[in-house]
Structure formats: C-alpha cells, structure tokens
Amino acid sequence: MQNVEDKIRGMVVGAVTGDALGMPLEFHPPRPLNRLVRDMEIGPLPAGTFTDDTEMALALAESLLEHSPLEGGDFAQRLLAWLRNRPADIGIHTSRVLNLIAAGINWQEAAERVQREDPGNAGNGSLMRAWPVAAVHHANLGLLIAESRLQSQITHAHPDCVNACVFLNLVLSDLIHRDSNKPTGAAIRESIAASLTKVSLGSEFELVVNLAPVRQRENLANSGWVRHTLESAFWAVLTTYTFEEALVSVVNLGNDADTAGAVTGAIAGALYGYAAIPEHWKGAIHGEYPLRSGRIWFLQDFINLADEMMELG
Ligand SMILES: [Mg+2]
C-alpha cells in the first residue's frame, strides 16, 4: 500500500535522481534510440551528481523549513548565498536577477526589471526547484498555490513560469493523495485534468499540456522554455509504464535534459512511489550543498528531508 510518506519520498528522491541522470546529457542532441543512456554517467560532474536544479530546491526546502509562511526575502538571500559560492551551472535569467539583488535591488523588483528587458522570456528556472512546496503543502491547496507563485516570482515573474509552478505542484499534490490502486495512466490523466481546473495556464499553454502524450519524440525540443519542460515531462510519464522508462525517455531527449529529468522525476516519483525508483540510481545520487561547505548529500539525507518537510505540512 503506497501511502503519502512513500509518495513524498518518491517525489523528492525522484527529482534528484532525474537531475543527476540528465546531467551528462544536458546541451547534447537527442540520443539515438539504439544508444539510450540508462545509467548514471560521468558528464561535466561525476556520475550521479545533482546540479543547480537540486541545489536551488534545497535552498527552497531550507527556507520553507525555517519560515512558515515562506518569506520571499529569506529565500532570495539563500539563492544569493548559493550564487556567491559560484555554482557550476546557473541559468542566464536566474543569474541576471540574482546579480541585481546582489547589487542592492529589492527582491520584489529584480525579477520584474529583468522581465521588462526581455518580456517574452519564460524559462524553466523556477519550475526546476518548485517541488519542495508540494512536499510541505500537499494538504493545503491555498498555501500550495500562494507559495508556488512566490517562489517563482523571486526570479521568474513571467505568468507562464508562475503558472507552471502552481500547475506542477497541484499535479504533485493530487498524485500524492490519489488512490494508488488505480492504473497509473488513469491516475496521471485525472491529476492533470483536476489541476487544470484550479489554475489558468491560458489556452496555448493548456494545449501544449493536453497534446503532450500524442507528440512524437523527434518533435520535442526539450529546451529551457518552461512550456517545453512540462511538455517533455508529461509526454514521458504518459507514454511509459514505469519510473525507469519515463526517466530514460525524457533525459535522452538531450538539450535541457537535467531539468526535464528533475521535473519528470518529481512527477513519476509521486505517481509510482519511492520503491519504484531503481536501486542503482538511488545509490548513486550525491552532491555538495551548501556549495563549498564540504557537506555531501546522499540518498538518506534526501529521505530525511522528505520526512521533515512532510511533518511540517
Ligand atoms: Mg541543472
């Protein structure tokens, strides 16, 4: 019997696993279908290492554990501390916003200012780190929506970014509470449909979500655009039957492979539960956080974090 605890552990460890599995494939073209990557491989970082997606999620998790309700200023300061420790990977948009905050611009204004200079920019930088809000507020949709929005607005103010974070966390919380005796295909479809009634993505974005399962692999761009990340993630979970196959499908799209892996891992982890994540993947995940602190996170640390966040909710 899958319970809430198992699904939250699955979501947390699933997100980190997907980030690490996608790490060596980021910025690469899609892998040929007869040469798919199926295991943790070395890339810019050692095999099994998580990236900025998980680092920012840990900053958000810490902030949520420290302050309830979430304080924007506290989370912004934690992101700033992370920036100052020179992360190996950081999105251009996130970097521009955080550098403005570092220069003394109010955190409430920095993201808006960067957005005004580039109004169409709607990247996946806030979506990649959104899942801790679902871990804490899965049973309180009011707080889940408010804090999903706030955590995005600090760096990513575009409505597509903010709405994508709300939508993803609604889907995750719905999956966490959904009857696990149902076929997984029906469960994820029902979660998506239920969540679309609670947030307005706009007709174009909603179409991207609804058409995701009928898209062809070769037509998925899997870029850093937030719409592309959700498209890839829903395509992956809706066209496969296990956690492992969903993750193998999505990270082998290449391009923004680690972020698509992190988002897909969160969804597939909440759908299939912790036990469905392959042992050899779970055993490989690790990484340093805070950067330059010498503290290395391993599987058990993420399980502990999942339990701590769940108890807070
Ligand atoms: Mg990354």
224 C-alpha to center of ligand 1: Å? 10
Instruction: Report whether 306 contacts 12 (CB < 8 A).
Output: yes
Q: What is the pLDDT of residues 300-310, one digit of tens each?
A: 999 999 999 99
146 C-alpha to center of ligand 1: Å? 25
Q: Which residues pair with 49 in a beta bridge?
A: 286
Q: What was the pLDDT predicted at 179?
A: 80
Tokens for 146, please give them. 């408010």
Going by C-alpha positions, the residue among 256, 69, 93 that lies closest to residue 79 is 93
Q: What was the pLDDT predicted at 1?
A: 39
234 C-alpha to center of ligand 1: Å? 19
User: Domains of the chain by range and CATH?
Assistant: 4-312 (1.10.4080.10)
What residues contact 236, with CB distance under 8 A and at least 6 apart?
246, 247, 249, 250, 260, 264, 268
In whole angstroms, what is the distance from residue 25 CA to residue 194 CA?
Answer: 33
Sign (positive or negative) of CA dihedral 166, 194, 178, 236: negative
36 C-alpha to center of ligand 1: Å? 20
158 C-alpha to center of ligand 1: Å? 20
14 C-alpha to center of ligand 1: Å? 15
304 C-alpha to center of ligand 1: Å? 23
How many beta carbons lie within 10 A of that of residue 307, not counting itself?
15
Q: What share of the chain is helix, strand, coil (3-state, %, to 5)?
A: 65, 5, 30
Q: Tell me the pLDDT of the chain (313 aa) as tens digits.
A: 369 999 999 999 999 999 999 999 999 999 999 999 999 999 999 999 999 999 999 999 999 999 989 999 999 999 999 999 999 999 999 999 999 999 999 999 999 999 999 999 999 999 999 999 999 999 999 999 999 999 999 999 999 999 999 999 999 999 999 987 778 889 999 999 999 999 999 999 999 999 999 999 999 999 999 999 999 999 999 999 999 999 999 999 999 999 999 999 999 999 999 999 999 999 999 999 999 999 999 999 999 999 999 998 8
Q: What was the pLDDT predicted at 181?
A: 74
Give me the chain's average pLDDT, please.
96
Tokens for 115, please give them. 């957005």
Instruction: Report whether 98 contacts 84 (CB < 8 A).
Output: no
Q: What is the pLDDT of residues 155-213, one digit of tens each?
A: 999 999 999 999 999 999 999 999 877 788 899 999 999 999 999 999 999 999 999 99
Tokens for 129, please give them. 């780190």
259 C-alpha to center of ligand 1: Å? 6
CA dist 259 → 46, 65, 264 (Å): 17, 24, 8
Instruction: Report whether 270 contacts 175 (CB < 8 A).
Output: yes
181 C-alpha to center of ligand 1: Å? 34
110 C-alpha to center of ligand 1: Å? 22
The single-letter code of the amino acid at 78 is: R
- Going by DSSP bridges, is the β-strand pair 296-297/287-288 parallel, antiparallel, or unpaired? antiparallel
265 C-alpha to center of ligand 1: Å? 13
208 C-alpha to center of ligand 1: Å? 23
